[in-house]
Amino acid sequence: MHKEITYHWGDDHLRITLGNRIQPRIRILFWSELLATVGLATVFLVRSLPLTLSLINWISGAGALLLYSLALYRFLSRIFFHEEIVLSRYALTIIQHTPFRRYRRRYDWRSIGPLHYAGKEKKTDHPLKGRNYDYFGFETHEHVIQSLYHDGNLYFNYAGYPIRFARNVYSWDAEEMVNMMKIFAGNSLRLGPEWDSMLQEHEMGDTQ
């Protein structure tokens, strides 16, 4: 699974493929959740055997099959999540797909608000942050949860609703993406004020 962001310049479009950008520790969490759910399902399955006319056994067996299906669905949907952004003359299209579903949403440039960088949501530091006796790693755990549950680091308002995308794309890649998008879309792509300082810092870093 590649993590590189690739750009395909067509005659009348720009396609940006974000690939699979799951962090290794998040991938470990997905595997842990799968194993834990499968283990629980196996307990239900063993308790349901042998399948007799007992209603409880049949309910336990059905619950085991449901847990197996849920675990597999969640795991494959997360591990094989891919995202693409297609810019054309008239619209920006966001495509998100898994082995089970494919979402394709088209947004007219005329109704798209300024593009913003959200990054990770701000949170209150855990009381044990920086202390030597944070034995259970509560602060680290909260950062992992932040990375696990978010919809994307770029967003714009469309018809009054925020549209978030670019999952696991952080500032250093987002800056390159925005530069490419701006080259293609020109004035159709409006940027939020935070990009002024972000892009300047990126340019200064390149010249050093």
Query: Which residues, including other chains, have CB under 8 Å from residue 205's CB and lie 6 or more apart?
Result: none
pLDDT for res 142: 42
pLDDT of residue 200: 65
**Lowest mean pLDDT across 95-104, 137-146, 183-192, 194-203:** 137-146
pLDDT for residue 51: 65
Strands 161-165 and 102-108: what pairing?
unpaired
Q: Are residues 74 and 171 in the same domain?
A: no
Does residue 37 sit within a domain?
yes
100-151 per-position pLDDT tens digit: 999 999 999 999 999 999 864 443 343 444 444 444 444 444 444 444 445 6
Residue 98 falls within a domain, yes or no? yes
- H helix runs in the chain, sequence order: 24-48, 55-79, 138-148, 171-185, 194-207
In this predicted structure, which of 115-119, 149-153, 160-164, 189-193 has the lowest mean pLDDT?
A: 149-153
Task: State the average pLDDT for the chain.
Answer: 80
Judgement on whether residues 102 and 54 belong to the same structural domain of the protein: no
- Are 60 and 16 found together in one domain? no
| DSSP code, position 123 | -
Residue 35 is encoded by which pair of tokens? 């194993």
Which residues contact residue 36 at a Cβ distance below 8 angstroms, ignoring those fewer than 6 apart?
none
Q: Does residue 171 form part of some domain?
A: yes
Residue 96 backbone phi and psi in degrees, to 5: -125, 130
Confidence band, pLDDT 50/70/90 cuts, at residue 9: very high
CA-closest candidate to residue 33, choices 21, 41, 22, 43? 41
Report the domain count for the chain: 2
98 and 158, same domain (yes or no): yes
- For residue 102, being part of any structural domain is answered with yes
35 and 109 part of one domain:
no
Residue 21 scores a pLDDT above 90: no
What band does 15 get if pLDDT is binned at 50, 70 and 90? Answer: very high
Domain range enclosing 109:
6-22+81-118+153-207
On whether both 158 and 203 belong to a single domain, the answer is yes
Q: According to the model, what pLDDT value does residue 23 have?
A: 74
